[in-house]
Structure 1
Amino acid sequence: MSRASIGVDRTAERAVRRARGRWMRRRVRAMAEPSIASAVVSTTTTATANAAELRLACETFIPSATTAVTLRETTGGVNNHVRYADAASGTYVARVYNNGRATTRVAFEHAVLLAVEPLVAACDLGFVVPRALRARDGSGDTFKILPSGDAASVFELIPGTLPKTRYADAVGEATAALSKCLEACEADVRAIAPTSPTSVYRDIFGAFVAKGGSREAFFEEMANNSGLDDVRPAVTRLADYIRALEEKLLAIEAAGGLPETLIHGDVHYDNALVDENTGKVTGIIDFEFASYDWRMMECAAGLSKYVGEKDPMPFVQSYITGFCRRATPTEAEIDAIPDLIKLRVLETVVYFVARSVAGEDDISQLALRADNYAARVEWIDANAQAIRDAVRASLASRQ
């Protein structure tokens, strides 16, 4: 992809080359197994252990952490333990990963961030991506393995608030802009990580298999887990929708598949930050599901949230308008987009079941969402052509 295609002038081009040179010198170190932070972590209770680990993370990365650090609750943070950390040198975001101690996933995420951050800055897109602090021990590590075995990082604070359903146009445009930057740095990331540790979305049972399960075991768990009994009708429908989607995905693959690149994989209104005064996106966060996957899954992830709202179409149209301002989906991608949105919704069902089986989360996380997830799929099916038409209309308006 040329720099012109993402709007980089000659000055920015030189900045990109300098930034890439710095990143190339750091990247092997980032992908290496980080050292273990030294401290004793209390394990009296899970909550106490999480707080202790978050404080240890702060001591490991924050320059002024020898003085008092105050931890505050954040919004979001479904998968990991995340807190604001107020220190003398500023406010940061501390994260202890709750991902089954999948260190390779953390290393891949940080390699992607190191690659894309200078490119996003050079392109002057108006938003930033997370920048991890480097360990105070001089190692240059951007994450450490704690005595518990969990990985931890501390990031610079990105100003802004979660937009939810507001500013869908801006979120869509920022998603497409980030997608182009990720595509531009894909070769650099592949040079050190030819494959991504996160399974592609179309491998819909990938998250479950990664926890030691199988397709058959997934459906058995869906059918027999008593924690889903209160939402059994919705769970049964979701299982049927997954089986039907398997056939659709096989058909897409048989027709030649879709364009693939490096993607964030989870950009939506809960992973974007906006300036309330301007309505502009200030940051895109949470790259832990970055992978090499179908390019249009980036758009599908964003739309998958809006289709869960009471009246989805205005949000869907607004998001698509913004996305297509910077992206030009192929006809195959446009035809597939309803199925890709369903894939994003239904893969999340598999993900929550996998986390429950692995003991990383409770099945109540799915039970709370099952009715809404089933309703999303049903709305997508009823409005599939309208979604495709919205993409085509947005592209036509650029002519």
Structure 2
Amino acid sequence: MAEPSIASAVVSTTTTATANAAELRLACETFIPSATTAVTLRETTGGVNNHVRYADAASGTYVARVYNNGKATTRVAFEHAVLLAVEPLVAACDLGFVVPRALRARDGSGDTFKILPSGDAASVFELIPGTLPKTRYADAVGEATAALSKCLEACEGDVRAIAPTSPTSVYRDIFGAFVAKGGSREAFFAEMANNSGLDDVRPAVTRLADYIRALEEKLLAIEAAGGLPETLIHGDVHYDNALVDENTGKVTGIIDFEFASYDWRMMECAAGLSKYVGEKDPMPFVQSYIKGFCRRATPTEAEIDAIPDLIKLRVLETVVYFVARSVAGEDDISQLALRADNYAARVEWIDANAQAIRDAVRASLASRQ
């Protein structure tokens, strides 16, 4: 089947919300050991959801983050619980990558995040060396993702003992992010149809709404057939949340655990693939990522059959997420407008190549034998 062309490369932008410099500095003073002396804040590249800066201090360079999540402190607490539980397991992994390590508050409380006067949470993390791989080293990113998935599965019991449920809705509850901010399924479709900020990309937005309706039926069918294996997942591992060593091509770190949850295990793979399918010629990246992922993971037949729909779910849930953030005043609808054409093209490419994606998984598993 002919492959639909992808309109443009994956869009990378920053949030339109304004960072409060005073609060970023307060975060540094709260956590950085030498923050009684001057701290220099520098812009980072990428990042859509939160306010993140490099913080240069006498004791080193750190990463300061002020969360822009509607003051959802329970999500921050869950993220930090996951990081604390999974870190020793990742450290024991032979791939040599790390996960973020939050500094403890200087006041001796042991806290890894603090609530600022605005009500937003803030943390400061140790700097992980490496650069964003983008489409390079897809095999290594896939393998590291599968290795992390096994570590998260191993520490799920420890995290559940602290937090029996996750504050982030499961992906298959596709409108969960909007409902959590006071919206509904009906309000989502109304916003998609009527928001003037989407008028310039109206054809793509209309198609995206139709794709979401069709996916709802697919998800019901998966659930009716018994669902899929579920565990603790990162939920957002892709080439913009991985760091690599340019000299070796090895993954040095996996970052941004803010969407960690108890969800279908194969959503971890789907999240990674959802980025590559937005590129101009996706299949080589898709095959390389899957080869690496299947080196350490063994998906079930049900997971293999579902993977095209799960990749679409990851793309389309993000559409709902951006609408939810816009309605909640956390960001601007332009964040979706910038991506609408690309998101629609991703879904169309997945539909055209669904069997090839499944075949790539089966071939990678067969090559291990």
Q: Give TM class, smaller chain.
A: over 0.9
CA gap of 1:384–1:48, structure 2 versus 1, over 3 A, is closer
Deviation, structure 1 residue 75: 1.0
Q: What is the aligned residue count?
A: 369
Deviation, structure 1 residue 125: 2.7
CA gap of 1:156–1:35, structure 2 versus 1, over 3 A, is farther
- The within-5 A match list for 1:85-104 is 85-104=55-74
Q: Is the 8 A contact 1:117 1:129 kept in 2?
A: yes
CA gap of 1:381–1:335, structure 2 versus 1, over 3 A, is same
Deviation, structure 1 residue 51: 1.1
Q: Is the 8 A contact 1:42 1:52 kept in 2?
A: no
Give secondary structure in 2 for the equivalent of 1:99: coil
- In 2, the alpha carbon distance for the partners of 1:366 and 1:232 equals 11
Q: Is the 8 A contact 2:130 2:246 kept in 1?
A: yes
CA gap of 1:37–1:121, structure 2 versus 1, over 3 A, is farther
Q: Is the 8 A contact 1:36 1:144 kept in 2?
A: no
- In 1, the alpha carbon distance for the partners of 2:11 and 2:109 equals 22
From 229, 233, 238, give the equivalent of 2:208.
238
Offset from partner CA, 1:295-316 (integer Å, 9 cap, x none): 0000000000000000000000
Deviation, structure 1 residue 215: 0.3
Give secondary structure in 2 for the equivalent of 1:188: helix
Deviation, structure 1 residue 124: 3.5
The residue aligned with 1:358 is 328
Deviation, structure 1 residue 122: 2.0
Mark the runs of 5 or more structure 1 residues left unpaired by the alignment: 1-30
- In 2, the alpha carbon distance for the partners of 1:36 and 1:394 equals 26
CA gap of 1:57–1:33, structure 2 versus 1, over 3 A, is farther
Give secondary structure in 1 for the equivalent of 2:19: helix
CA gap of 1:310–1:54, structure 2 versus 1, over 3 A, is same
Mark the runs of 5 or more structure 2 residues left unpaired by the alignment: none
The structure where helix makes up a greater share of residues is: 1
Q: Is the 8 A contact 1:40 1:147 kept in 2?
A: no
Offset from partner CA, 1:270-323 (integer Å, 9 cap, x none): 000000000000000000000000000000000000000000000000000000
- In 2, the alpha carbon distance for the partners of 1:333 and 1:37 equals 29
Q: TM-score, normalised by structure 1?
A: 0.88
Instruction: Give aligned-pair identity as a percent.
Output: 99
Q: Which has the higher contact order (CA 8 A, sep 6+)?
A: 2
CA gap of 1:148–1:44, structure 2 versus 1, over 3 A, is farther
Deviation, structure 1 residue 363: 0.1
Q: Is the 8 A contact 2:229 2:264 kept in 1?
A: yes
Q: Is the 8 A contact 1:34 1:143 kept in 2?
A: no
Q: Is the 8 A contact 1:38 1:147 kept in 2?
A: no
Offset from partner CA, 1:218-256 (integer Å, 9 cap, x none): 000000000000000000000000000000000000000
CA gap of 1:237–1:86, structure 2 versus 1, over 3 A, is same
CA gap of 1:157–1:232, structure 2 versus 1, over 3 A, is same
Q: Is the 8 A contact 2:15 2:48 kept in 1?
A: no
Q: Is the 8 A contact 2:238 2:275 kept in 1?
A: yes
Offset from partner CA, 1:125-153 (integer Å, 9 cap, x none): 31000000000000000000000000000
- C-alpha RMSD of matched pairs (Å): 8.3
CA gap of 1:218–1:139, structure 2 versus 1, over 3 A, is same
Q: TM-score, normalised by structure 2?
A: 0.95
Query: Which of 121-130 and 306-315 deviates more?
Result: 121-130
CA gap of 1:55–1:329, structure 2 versus 1, over 3 A, is same
